[in-house]
Chains A and B, each alone.
Chain A
């Protein structure tokens, strides 16, 4: 009996330490995996926003079909920006509390590039100059997200 007690006195503390360590490590890797999945999700949304915004700003409203397409794209762009705003807030609250302003500021630039100027205006013309603004603004957000993921 004494021998059993002696062995358990030796074995139990390391076992508890290993168990706790494994739990902490598992929590860490699950959190990193979730963060990675969230980043991938946001990057996918950004890519979609980029495609829609580029199509919107290079589409001439010269036919009823194109006008209709522009209306749909404008709604998609606004919806995507709203969704990205909510996702980035959630992401920053959960994974990078101290730096939430940085990502938000980058998204403000994206919203400005995608929906500024003559957005939803009857005077809107094809604006190829906006192409580079949109691509650069979105790429900055993507870079920041990838940097945090890695």
Chain B
């Protein structure tokens, strides 16, 4: 759509290639920190955000749940809004499972 502002966040390049943990007390590259410092501001300032998950050493569910499910739990966005705003991109088959996990956490967080 003309005029839409799109932001692209590459987790491995823009945040860390070894993201881990749920809270900042767990690690300096935790899910909460990613959500608060990169994801939320990007979602607030843009019409859509693409998060590239390729390239990281791997993700724990705790990181993904806090980073993405936390958006719903903290009341920033509903799962329906995120379906419109957020796009998860992965080209490497190793990361396909994380894409499914992210949407699982977003949808499950809605139920809470």
Q: Which of B3-11, B23-31, B39-47, B76-84 binds A? A: B23-31
Chain A residues 101 to 150 lying within 8 A of chain B, measured CB to CB, are 104-105, 107-108, 111-112, 114-123
Residues of A near any B CB (own CB < 8 A): 74-75, 78-79, 81-86, 88-90, 104-105, 107-108, 111-112, 114-123
B27 touches A108 (CB 8 A): no
Given A108-B101, A111-B101, A121-B26, is A90 in contact with B93 using a C-beta cutoff of 8 Å?
yes
Residue count of chain B within 8 Å CB distance of chain A: 25
Contact with A along B52-85 (1 / 0, CB 8 A): 0000011111110100000000000000000000
Contacts of A79 in B (CB 8 A): 57-58
The answer on a CB contact under 8 Å between A122 and B26 is yes
- Find out whether the CB atom of B100 lies under 8 angstroms from the CB atom of A78: no
Q: For the complex formed, measure the closest distance between the CB of A59 and the CB atoms of chain B, giving whole angstroms.
A: 16
Q: Establish whether residues B57 and A86, one from each chain, have CB atoms under 8 Å apart when the complex forms.
A: no
- Determine if B33 is an interface residue (Cβ-Cβ < 8 Å): no
User: Given A85-B95, A104-B96, are A78 and B62 also a contact pair (CB < 8 Å)?
Assistant: no
